């Protein structure tokens, strides 16, 4: 089969599973297929792609077994080899794995631990390629637009790299520039990821619980937003508005006239990373003070504004000389609704208070279910989970350990928590790590409890209860005002004979099935009886033609009746209904 035929067959599979047929069809896509498949084969995943159309692209030559750190890769675990595959395939697969790591309810913790080892680094893009991006986006070269532009990047990641520049007038800025060709590569990889996801769900039931199709769909939505820097700019403006009155946090400016979907121009932050303890001492700020200040600002994002930085690692948090905290990189932000803030608060408070029933009810509310499968086993696991912390003082409890325990529970019982809440749990683990760098005695449970209690107090505050009561009264008033009109409408339909009432029986399916079986047997018996009586009348009437003086039609009728009778008896005996 030719390459084009293989590609056509692959796209046909996608269309048969009702995926939108908007994929790039080009020879480069076929080449990308071959790269992905050869990498999977190299790392021992032939079983994944041993189905059409991928099996036609499996290399026929002798498999080359690569060596990593002095060991053949086949000696590594399956999860380690999954990480190696993603690393070799580059940006899209690394980003997909990192996003999948935010779903501990779907992936085992061993795989998530491997994904955490990824390093998002990439080689420098050449000066000519950077100039080409600016010419396409602005119609001008960087040296024309800026007083000074440094083609040597200060950071290079898989999707973009960052350059320093100076505006005409002297303002220092940084420009985040998307890598040339990265969008086309990602579009091609999404096609391949979708096919692999459907193959895994179809042929490997042991991995279906990971819900690869759902993960790829979630990734597609996320990566498309990340490719548009205008979304990051909108996040920054919203964050800036939330903290416009704060004296403890600084949000960098952005410059829309130098920004597009592929280039983002931001104010240069002249500060130092939050984990630079020597610089902290120089401005008179101790580690414990900054831990309390910075992480309280983070809790304010979550429980105050419901809009939080979802990747708060040390490289994304700076401290200015005037001791203000500055978050950067607003590409990954999380949203948490007020109702979910309250549910999360109930969960964290129940853990702190060692309440089994409270934890179970909070998990049910977060997962939007009335009851879990294996609920009794879940209750025992919650008891064991809480008992492990019951003998510790609050200063001894590590927040990351608590979150990991919750993640294991999510995965074991397939508790489906909204993606943004899982993102928040992961961010809380990261922020605790930052706090521990600054203050070894920092405790996330102890420091988060006042915010949780404040949120719960706000939930039952007179103002909120008053607003709730006003809403209820408003709903009752609207119902009362519309009641006469609704009653009149019912009576009008009744007079005109147009009133229809729909009802649905629950739990009657077995009865329906039984009645259908009985009615079928009655009809079958009546047909059999009619056939016997009709054949008997033909024999008695001696209707020709004859064979050995026996009417043929009557004889055939008796034969058919006998066969049908045997069939009915077998059916009754098989189902035990006699």
* CB neighbour list of residue 506: distance below 8 Å, 6 or more residues apart: none
Mean pLDDT computed over 44-57: 59
- Tokens of residue 261, six digits: 């979907």
Could you give the CA distance from residue 476 to residue 489 in angstroms, rounded to a whole number?
Answer: 20
Helix (H, G, I), strand (E, B) or coil at 166: strand
What pLDDT, in 10s, does the model give residues 531-576? Answer: 888 888 887 877 788 877 778 888 888 888 888 888 777 777 776 5
Is residue 406 within 8 Å of 366, Cβ to Cβ?
no
* Residue in 313, 284, 283, 288 with CA at minimum distance from that of residue 298: 313
The beta strand positions in 191-299, using DSSP E, are 249-250, 263-267, 272-273
pLDDT single digits (tens) 313-363:
888 899 999 999 999 989 888 888 888 887 877 787 787 777 888 888 888
**Is the model's pLDDT at 400 over the cut of 70?**
no
Report how far residue 455's alpha carbon sits from residue 445's, in angstroms, rounded to the nearest whole number. Answer: 15
How confident is the prediction for the chain on average, in pLDDT? 78
Closest CA to 348 of 458, 456, 442: 456
**CA angle (210 as vertex; 227, 118 as ends), nearest 5:** 50
* Burial classification of residue 32, based on how many CB atoms lie within 10 Å of its CB (0-12 exposed, 13-18 middle, 19 or more buried): buried
pLDDT given for residue 159 in this prediction: 85
Question: Taking residues 288-295, what's their average pLDDT?
Answer: 86
Distances (CA, A) of 527 to 492, 520, 533, 565: 49, 11, 10, 10
- Token look-up 């009744």 returns 494
What's the pLDDT band for 8 if we cut at 50, 70, 90? very low
Phi-psi region of 414 (alpha: psi -120 to 50; beta: other; left: phi over 0): left
Handedness of CA 254, 256, 258, 259 (dihedral sign): positive
Q: Kindly indicate the confidence band of residue 55, based on its pLDDT and cuts at 50, 70 and 90.
A: low
Cα–Cα dist 62/42, whole Å:
10
**DSSP-derived secondary structure for 306-371:** SEEES---GGGEEE-TTS-EEE---SSEEE--HHHHHHHHHHHHHHHTT-HHHHHHHHHHHHT-S-
Location of structure tokens 């505006």: 167
Residue 97 has pLDDT above 50, yes or no: yes
* pLDDT at residue 461 greater than cutoff 50: yes
Q: Mean pLDDT, to the nearest integer, of 405-421?
A: 76
Question: Residue 146: which region, alpha, beta or left (left: phi > 0; alpha: psi -120 to 50)?
Answer: beta
> For 58, left (φ over 0), alpha (ψ -120 to 50), or beta?
beta
Tokens of residue 310, six digits: 């979802």
What whole-number distance in Å separates Cα of residue 16 and Cα of residue 23? 14
Q: Which stretches of 196-284 are assigned E, i.e. beta strand? A: 249-250, 263-267, 272-273
- Higher per-residue pLDDT: 369 or 16: 369
* pLDDT of residue 258 exceeding 70: yes
**Highest mean predicted confidence (pLDDT) among 88-92, 134-138, 423-427, 509-513:** 134-138
Task: Please report the pLDDT score of residue 164 as a whole number.
Answer: 95
347, 366, 386, 440 from 359: Cα distances, Å = 6, 10, 9, 28
More confident residue, 530 or 403: 530
Asked if residue 53 has pLDDT above 70, the reply is no
Rg (Cα) of the chain, in Å, rounded?
34
SS3 156: strand
CA distance 79 to 287: 37
DSSP string, 52-77: TTGGGGS--SPPP--EETTEEGGGS-
Higher confidence at residue 348 or residue 118? 348
**For residue 486, what are the CA distances in angstroms to 131, 491, 499?**
68, 9, 13
- Is the pLDDT at 133 greater than 90? The verdict is yes
Chain centroid offset of residue 4 CA = 33
Least Cα distance to 96 among 110, 78, 82 occurs for 82
Q: Is the pTM of this model over 0.75?
A: no
For residue 202, CA distances in Å to 20, 196, 209, 211, 256 come to 19, 10, 12, 11, 47
DSSP state of 300: I
**Computed from CA positions of residues 452, 458, 461, 464, in that sequence, does the dihedral angle turn out positive or negative?**
negative
What's the rounded Cα separation, in Å, for the pair 171 and 165?
A: 9
* Burial readout 125-154 (b: 16 or more C-beta within 10 A, e: otherwise): beeeebbebbeebbeeebeebbeebeeebe
SS3 helix, strand, coil % of the chain, rounded to 5? 60, 10, 30
Tokens of 427: 């961010």
Residue 445: which H helix or E strand, with range?
helix 444-459
* Residue 162, CB-side half-sphere exposure with 13 Å CA sphere: 13
């Amino acid at each position: 089969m030719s390459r084009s035929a293989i590609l056509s067959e692959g796209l046909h599979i996608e269309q048969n599973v009702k995926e939108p047929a908007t994929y790039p069809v080009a020879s480069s896509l076929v080449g990308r297929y071959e790269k992905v498949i050869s990498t999977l084969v190299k790392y021992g995943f032939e079983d994944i792609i041993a189905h059409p159309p991928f099996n036609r692209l499996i290399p026929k030559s002798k498999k080359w077994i690569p060596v990593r750190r002095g060991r053949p890769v086949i000696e590594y675990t399956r999860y380690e080899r999954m990480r190696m595959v993603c690393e070799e395939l580059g940006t899209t697969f690394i980003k997909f794995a990192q996003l999948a790591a935010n779903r501990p309810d779907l992936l085992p913790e061993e795989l998530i631990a491997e994904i955490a080892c990824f390093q998002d680094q990439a080689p420098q893009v050449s000066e000519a390629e950077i100039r080409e991006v600016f010419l396409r986006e602005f119609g001008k070269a960087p040296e024309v637009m800026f007083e000074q532009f440094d083609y040597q990047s200060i950071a290079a990641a898989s999707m973009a790299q960052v350059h320093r520049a100076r505006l005409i007038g002297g303002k220092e800025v940084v420009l985040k520039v998307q890598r040339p060709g990265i969008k086309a590569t990602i579009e091609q990889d999404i096609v391949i990821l979708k096919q692999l996801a459907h193959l895994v769900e179809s042929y490997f039931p042991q991995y279906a619980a990971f819900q690869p199709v759902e993960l790829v769909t979630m990734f597609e939505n996320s990566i498309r937003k990340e490719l548009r820097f205008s979304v990051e700019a909108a996040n920054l403006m919203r964050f800036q508005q939330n903290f416009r009155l704060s004296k403890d946090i600084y949000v960098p400016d952005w410059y829309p006239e130098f920004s597009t979907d592929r280039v983002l121009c931001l104010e240069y932050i002249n500060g130092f990373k939050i984990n630079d303890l020597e610089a902290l001492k120089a401005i008179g700020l101790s580690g414990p003070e900054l831990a309390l200040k910075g992480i309280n600002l983070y809790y304010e994002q979550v429980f105050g504004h419901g809009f939080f930085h979802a990747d708060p690692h040390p490289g994304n948090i700076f401290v200015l000389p005037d001791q203000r905290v500055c978050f950067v990189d607003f590409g990954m932000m999380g949203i948490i609704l007020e109702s979910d803030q309250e549910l999360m608060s109930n969960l964290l408070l129940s853990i702190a208070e060692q309440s089994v029933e409270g934890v179970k009810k909070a998990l049910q509310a977060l997962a939007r279910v009335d009851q879990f499968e294996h609920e009794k086993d879940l209750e025992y696991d919650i008891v064991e989970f809480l008992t492990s912390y019951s003998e510790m003082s609050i200063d001894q409890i590590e927040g990351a350990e608590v979150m990991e325990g919750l993640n294991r529970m999510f995965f074991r019982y397939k508790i489906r928590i909204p993606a943004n809440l899982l993102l928040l749990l992961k961010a809380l683990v990261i922020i605790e790590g930052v706090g521990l760098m600054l203050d070894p005695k920092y405790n996330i449970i102890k420091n988060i409890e006042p915010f949780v209690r404040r949120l719960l107090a706000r939930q039952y505050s007179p103002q909120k209860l008053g607003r709730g009561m006003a809403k209820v009264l408003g709903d009752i008033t609207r119902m009362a005002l519309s009641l006469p009109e609704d009653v009149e409408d019912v009576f009008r339909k009744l007079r005109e004979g147009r009133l229809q009432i729909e009802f649905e029986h629950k739990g009657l399916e077995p009865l329906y099935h039984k009645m259908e079986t009985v009615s079928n047997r009655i009809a079958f018996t009546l047909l059999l009886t009619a056939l016997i009586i009709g054949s008997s009348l033909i024999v008695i009437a001696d209707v020709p033609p004859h064979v050995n003086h026996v009417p043929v039609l009557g004889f055939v009728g008796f034969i058919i009746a006998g066969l049908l009778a045997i069939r009915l008896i077998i059916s009754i005996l098989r189902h035990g209904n006699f």
